[in-house]
Structure 1
Amino acid sequence: MYRCIVIDDESLARERIVSFVNAHPGWIVVASCGEYSQAQAMLIHHKPDLCFMDINLVGGSGVELVKSLNQVLTCHWVFSTAHYEFAIKAFELNVADYLLKPFEDSRLVETLMKVEKLKAGESGSRKSILAVKSVGTVEFINVQDIIWVKGAANYVELHCKHKMLLHRETLTNLAYLLDPSKFLRVHRSSIVNIDHIQSLSSELGRFSLLHLTNGDEVKIGQGHKGALFESLGIDNPEEKGALPSQYENQTLSDVLS
């Protein structure tokens, strides 16, 4: 099932797309709104496969929102707007489609089919072996041996059990090659293999660090906590206030029990 979010400040336009997508086989709308900050929170939490994005939002610009999240989410963006003049800027952001209002239902069908093909291509491109180029050599590593990844501009640090390899690739592009059920974005500059999470610890009543099987510690970004806890199958105690003292410095197995 593909997951979609609809962002539009016009309620009728928003409801139309929501209704259409929910009626299309294999798709579900997980959230919708028309306000900038609420949209940002929804997108970071749900990490959808597709987002229909209006240009003019309450409190900000859809273009700027996509620009700010492009390095954080592996989402396909579709602008839905009455403003044709933003088309060039939109495609510079590598959007999947640009729907100019008013548009027919047939354009929505075309868009969903296009994204389905893109998602199928991504699944086929997932890597089990990664070729890491070093000076004069190419080293092949099993992606399951990667414990976590740190992004640094156009390079990533691949942290494995006994070594760290520098690989020329952006964190966002690498995320497309990794299994999203195993490798989770936990910070704007970090991806973690959830099979190598050993424990979580808190600071000032908030979960803030992941402790990994190789001894490394990785910060948890506030906007990524919801998806992290969901993937680990645990409730987020922070949603109900400060973290209870019994959670402090617990192992993952303790938290899950």
Structure 2
Amino acid sequence: MTITVLVVDDEPIARHAIVRLLRDDAEVELVGECGDGATAAEAIRRHSPDLVFLDIQMPAMTGIEVVAAIGAGRMPATVFVTAYEQHAVHAFEINAVDYLVKPFSRDRFQLTLRRAKARLAPQGDPGGTSARVLQALDELRHRDDWLERIPVRVDEHVVLVDVDDIVWIRANRNTAQIHLANRTYELRETMTSLSERLNPRHFARVHRSAIVNVRRVKTIHPWFHGHHVVVMDTGQELRMSRYQHEAFLRLATTRGDVKSAR
């Protein structure tokens, strides 16, 4: 069986990585690659591919908007490509939708491609994915409503803290200490609850008691026994759990903002 595939990603490195891996498979015919959503929607209508690798976060027209433009019922089988490990992956997993988290390994890609082929096989369920895609995307739409400002009570008044001004957040029992460049606020909310309302593209957990603003990270230094130290642009140094290092580097290097010292 030969399947036709379209690759859509605004990041050339990620797009070329998928294309390169697809070209190693004799059962795949690449019909095109697109760097933006509008071109992708046009290519899907023109080529009617069997399978699309579709990046979620693209400027101007997102992957979600591409699906909306085509219609989930008319979309080819779709593998979503994302940098949002925490929230998007949860939405995809509970709805059994195939996905890749950037950067991905060759083995992970091959597993995803095998799953896609199984669904496209005659005995598979190519049409049954539409409802699952709709459900996953509906969850993602709700997740787009991330916090922009956090109301914090100070004495008898409320201060609205802009999340972009946050350097890092420290857990303190059932409260969260919000550290800005020049002062600290205390919020009566658990770290887990707060982290679920922060945009995972901008904030990452480096330790069970610390969340950092990725855009405020200056460097990441290796430390002892697989641990690392995160240095913020204010000079603050935070220890990173070795279990969080891989996930954090995935997020940071995708943004291209952080240098990891070796």
With structure 1 as the length reference, what TM-score do the two structures score?
0.51
RMSD of the TM alignment (CA)?
A: 3.6
Identity among equivalent positions (%) equals 17
Measure the CA separation in 2 of the matches of 1:105 and 1:166: 50
- CA distance in 2 between counterparts of 1:126 and 1:166 reads 20
CA distance in 2 between partners of 1:254 and 1:122 (Å): 29
Q: Residue in 1 aligned with 2:146?
A: 126
- Write the distance in 1 (CA, Å) between the matches of 2:87 and 2:138: 16
**Per the alignment, do residues 111 and 188 of structure 1 end up closer, same or farther by CA in structure 2, a change over 3 Å counting?**
farther
Size of the aligned set, in residue pairs, is 160
Residue 203 of structure 1: how far off its partner (Å): 2.6
Deviation, 1:219, is: 1.5
SS in 1 for 2:228: strand
The DSSP-based 3-state class of the residue aligned with 2:161 is strand
**The one of 179, 183, 190 aligned to 2:203:** 183
The answer to whether the aligner puts 1:113 opposite 2:144 as a matched pair is no
Q: 1:208 aligns with which of 228, 245, 248?
A: 228
Please tell me whether Structure 1 or Structure 2 has the larger radius of gyration of its CA atoms.
Answer: 2
Unpaired segments ≥5 residues, structure 1: 4-22, 31-44, 52-74, 81-103, 235-251
Distance 1:105 1:166, change over 3 A: farther
Change (3 A) 1:177 1:254: closer
Cα displacement (A) at 1:255: 3.3
Provide the TM-score with structure 2 as the length reference: 0.50
Q: Which of 74, 80, 93 is matched with 1:27 structurally?
A: 80
Please, which of 194, 197, 204 is the counterpart of residue 214 of structure 2? Answer: 194
Cα 1:115–1:155, aligned 2, differ >3 Å: closer, same or farther? farther
SS in 1 for 2:182: coil
What is the CA distance between 1:214 and its match in structure 2? 2.6
Residues 1-257 of structure 1: pairs in structure 2 closer than 5 A: 1=55, 24-25=77-78, 27=80, 46-47=85-86, 49-51=88-90, 78=94, 109-123=130-144, 125-204=145-224, 206-233=226-253, 255=261
CA distance in 2, matches of 1:215, 1:192: 13
Gaps of 5+ in 2: 1-54, 58-75, 97-124
Mean alpha-carbon deviation: is it higher for 133-142 or for 171-180? 171-180
Q: Would the alpha carbon gap of residues 218 and 29 (structure 1) be closer, same or farther in structure 2, given more than 3 Å must change?
A: closer
Q: Paired residue for 1:72?
A: none
